[in-house]
Amino acid sequence: MRLVIIGAGFAGMYAALSAARLRDIQGASPDELEIALIAPEPTLVVRPRLYEAKPETLTAPLLDVLKSIDVVYVQGSAETIDTKSRMVQVSTAAGTRKTLSYDRLVVATGSRLFRPNIPGLAEHGFSVDSLDDAIALDRHLHSLADRPARNGRDTIVVAGGGFTGIEAATEMPGRLRAILGKETRPRVIIVERNGAIAPDMGAGPRPVIEDALRKLGVETRVGAGVSSLNETGVTLSNGERIEAETVVWAAGIRAAPLTQQIPAERDNSGRLLVDQDLRVTSVPGVFATGDAAKAACDDAGNFALMSCQHATRMGAFAGNNAAAELLGVPTKPYHQKAYVTCLDLGEAGAVFTRGWERKVEMIGDVAKKTKHEINTVWIYPPRAERAAALASADPEHVTEV
């Protein structure tokens, strides 16, 4: 029997760990149940940190962890999924192709930044969506030191006032001063189409966020969007022109395109609809998890968000349940009633909230300390020691907060 997992992000990593854990508990050997993980590189990109400086350092190796739990790593990109014949076609960097059969498939392909067809965005916009994107932005920021201090050199426009946009924007004043000198006076502007900043976080933490933006000198433009951009700046939907040599796009994400090959219902973000076991009900043998799946967290109508916090726990349940079906043992319904957010606010600290109503529990330096621990400890892979790695993936205890 073979369980195939596509993706080495947070959901894919924990799907592999959890499936291997259940295999170990049930006393099955790797020959009896092969677990294979497909990804271009055997590394976890620490995507929640890509707004930081030195993004090239924000990866964690996975190969030793996978070897320690007897998970087969298949290097390449999944190109085609045939759910009728239960086959995945994988392309390698060398240009070759291989086909992998599966008895159960876990789709953990993550998400991609949504880039609309706005004039100039593809040519002149930057992002922190992927490692390559973040590295390109970092190189661009360093290149500003070689440019004259005019025409918006020290101005950064961040399109999108959600979680990613705020973290990117609040980090920029410090990053620019580190590059251009302490006397530099960066101008950072967040552009948000909705009528308020942080629209998805609600009214609770918004005063804390707005106060942090004022302290940092970050400006906002709400109720407007970016209509076009070029190498010297952006034009907003209200007609305002902002001279800026750096534009960071952070306005929305969608499930990765590979999910479209699964013949099943999806939501407006492209996520596959799944049942309580994270099973794609209309397609036998297929599970979806992380940003690839729309799953109910509880009985109160809350659904998993496209976040590291939800992807990690969802991955653990998906891997466990896919392996459980093959091993003939009961599955565990996914649930995630506990929910917290910890929003980095750059040099102004952070804000930590608990619950779907986003009740503020910590702000400033105290919250910043928690954010640092989350970013540098909690979200990293377990150590490459078999017992510890397997123990980390109990779905009932992953990301308990």
Q: Dihedral of CA 373/374/380/383: which sign?
A: positive
Fold match flag (2-112+253-337 vs 115-249): yes
pLDDT score at 401: 57
- CATH classification (class only), 2-112+253-337: alpha beta
Per-residue tokens: 387: 């017992």
pLDDT score at 136: 97
Query: Helix/strand/coil (H, E, C) string of the chain?
Result: CEEEEECCCHHHHHHHHHHHHHHHHCCCCCCCCEEEEEECCCEEECHHHCCCCCHHHCEEECHHHHHHCCCEEEECEEEEEECCCCEEEEECCCCCEEEEECCEEEECCCEEECCCCCCCHHHHEECCCCHHHHHHHHHHHHHHHHCCCCCCCCEEEEECCCHHHHHHHHHHHHHHHHHHCCCCCCEEEEEECCCCCCCCCCCCCHHHHHHHHHHHCCEEEECCCEEEEECCEEEECCCCEEECCEEEECCCEEECHHHHHCCCCECCCCCEECCCCCECCCCCCEEECHHHEECECCCCCCECCCCHHHHHHHHHHHHHHHHHHHHCCCCCCCCCCCCEEEEECHHHCEEEEECCCCEEEEEHHHHHHHHHHHHHHHCCCCCCCHHHHHHCCCCCCCCCC
Per-residue tokens: 383: 């150590």
Q: What are phi and psi of 187, to 5 degrees?
A: -115, 115
Domain boundaries in the chain?
A: 2-112+253-337, 115-249
Measured distance CA(236)–CA(239) in Å, rounded: 5
Q: Hey, what amino acid is at 286?
A: V
pLDDT tens, position by position, for the chain (401 residues)? 999 999 999 999 999 999 999 999 999 999 999 999 999 999 999 999 999 999 999 999 999 999 999 999 999 999 999 999 999 999 987 788 999 999 999 999 999 999 999 999 999 999 999 999 999 999 999 999 999 888 899 999 999 999 999 999 999 999 999 999 999 999 999 999 999 999 988 889 999 999 999 999 999 999 999 999 999 999 999 999 999 999 999 998 999 999 999 999 999 999 999 999 999 989 999 999 999 999 999 999 999 999 999 999 999 999 999 999 999 999 999 999 889 999 999 999 999 999 999 999 999 999 999 999 999 998 999 989 999 999 999 999 887 65
Measured distance CA(62)–CA(7) in Å, rounded: 12
Measured distance CA(341)–CA(338) in Å, rounded: 10
Per-residue tokens: 141: 């920021």
The whole-model pTM stands at 0.94
Beta strands 226-230; 233-236: pairing state: antiparallel
Rounded alpha-carbon distances, angstroms, from residue 369 to 310, 363, 364: 21, 10, 9
- Greatest pairwise CA separation for the chain in angstroms: 67
Tell me which residue has tokens 């070029």. 230
pLDDT score at 202: 85
Q: Distance between alpha carbon 380 and the CA centroid of its chain, in Å?
A: 13
Which homologous superfamily is 115-249 in?
FAD/NAD(P)-binding domain (3.50.50.60)
pLDDT score at 226: 96
- Length of the chain in terms of residues written: 401
